[in-house]
Amino acid sequence: MPPMTTETDLSDAIALNLSGVRARIAGAAKDVGRDPGDVSLIAVSKSHPADRARAALMAGHRVFGENRVQEAQEKWPPLKEAYPGSELHLIGPLQTNKTGDAVALFDVIQTLDREKLARILAGEIDKQDRRPELFVQVNTGEEEQKTGVLPLDADGFIGKCIDDYGLPVVGLMCIPPVDESPALHFALLADIAKRNGLTRLSMGMSADFETGVRLGATEVRVGTAIFGARAQRD
């Protein structure tokens, strides 16, 4: 996305991108007889400055995703205050020492992936009397470098989170391997969700969200197609 000269220019550009992504979601949904309104677009503002998130808010969008708790703490409290009804999803790995901060700030945490985290989340939810919705992240590609519960362990882990810890697990999330067809991984995630009685599926990013929608995604996580390339970190 080229530099914008005014806040209005930036808001208009991002509004146009949002409209384009929503049209693509609608097209993919209609391909398989789904209602496009059943798919939530999470605008992934990670590594983007606050002015780009604000521009999307000015354009009427209210659902956002961040990867890091600390970055979200620096960016989002004033934005959430200025735009009531904003919904913030944590879509990156959650360190246990950041759990309390995450429960306080995020409305949805999509990266529940281990029992230690489940236990600490349960304690923080009780302590703060705040219940963000939770997604279990499944490592569908069984990649060593990625977080997420393995598919063979998913049923037991989901049951433990709900039955033993009383956690508000509402769905599943996955990030397919970059060199494999995402459809196979999305179908696997949908199967795991179905047999565990979960109805929400977070699957699909800028490169493959239409495939996710066709295979049942209720949430798609789109950043580059809305905000442009991310700033490089030092």
The tens digit of pLDDT for each residue in 177-224 reads 999 999 999 999 999 999 999 999 999 999 999 999 999 999 999 999
**Within a domain: residue 1?**
no
DSSP 204: -
Pairing of strands 63-66, 87-90: parallel
In a domain, 91, yes or no: yes
Helix (H, G, I), strand (E, B) or coil at 93: coil
The answer as to whether 70 is a domain residue is: yes
Q: Do 41 and 56 touch, CB atoms closer than 8 A?
A: no
pLDDT at 158 over 80: yes
Q: Is residue 85 part of a domain?
A: yes
Looking at residues 11-36, what average pLDDT do you find?
97
Q: Which domain holds residue 133?
A: 7-227
Q: For residue 95, which amino acid is it?
A: Q
Q: Which residue has the higher pLDDT, 2 or 136?
A: 136
Amino acid 19: pLDDT: 98
CA 7 – CA 207 distance, rounded (Å): 28
Domains in the chain: how many in total? 1
Dist. CA 204–CA 221, nearest whole Å? 6
Confidence of residue 57 (pLDDT cuts 50, 70, 90): very high
For the chain, helix (H) and strand (E) counts, in that order, are 9, 8
**154 falls within a domain:** yes
Indicate which CATH number applies to the domain containing 193. 3.20.20.10
Confidence at residue 230, expressed as pLDDT on a 0 to 100 scale: 74
**Reported confidence tier of residue 85, pLDDT bands at 50, 70, 90:** very high
What pLDDT is stored for residue 201 in this prediction? 98
